[in-house]
Amino acid sequence: MQRWSAYATEAFDDVTVWNVDYPTDVSFVAAAGALVDGFYTMRQYGYRFEDVYFIGYSMGGLVARQMVAMGFPVTSLITVCSPHHGVNRYIFTRGNEGVRSLQKNSPEILSLNNSDRDMQMRSRYLFCSVAHTFKLPLLPRSQPEDTDTVVSGNSARGVKLGVKGMSVLLHMNNVMDEFRGNPHLEGMNPLYFKHAINRSIEK
pLDDT exceeds 70 at position 35 = yes
pLDDT exceeds 50 at position 1 = yes
Residue 15: per-residue pLDDT:
82
**Cβ density class 151-166: b for 16+ within 10 Å, e for less:** bbbebbbbbebebbbb
Q: Which of 89, 158, 147 is nearest to 121 (CA)?
A: 158
Q: What is the pLDDT of residues 70-96, one digit of tens each?
A: 999 999 999 999 999 999 988 776 778
Residue 176: per-residue pLDDT:
46
At residue 31, what are phi and psi to the nearest 5 degrees?
-65, -40
How far is CA 121 from each of CA 70, 74, 161, 177, rounded to the nearest angstrom?
A: 12, 9, 11, 37
pTM comes to 0.89
Residue 11: per-residue pLDDT:
82
Q: What is the pLDDT of residues 140-197, one digit of tens each?
A: 555 678 888 899 999 999 999 999 988 888 766 554 454 455 788 888 888 888 877 7
Residue 202: per-residue pLDDT:
60
Specify the DSSP class assigned to residue 152: B
pLDDT exceeds 90 at position 201 = no
Average pLDDT value over all residues in the chain: 86
Residue 136: per-residue pLDDT:
61
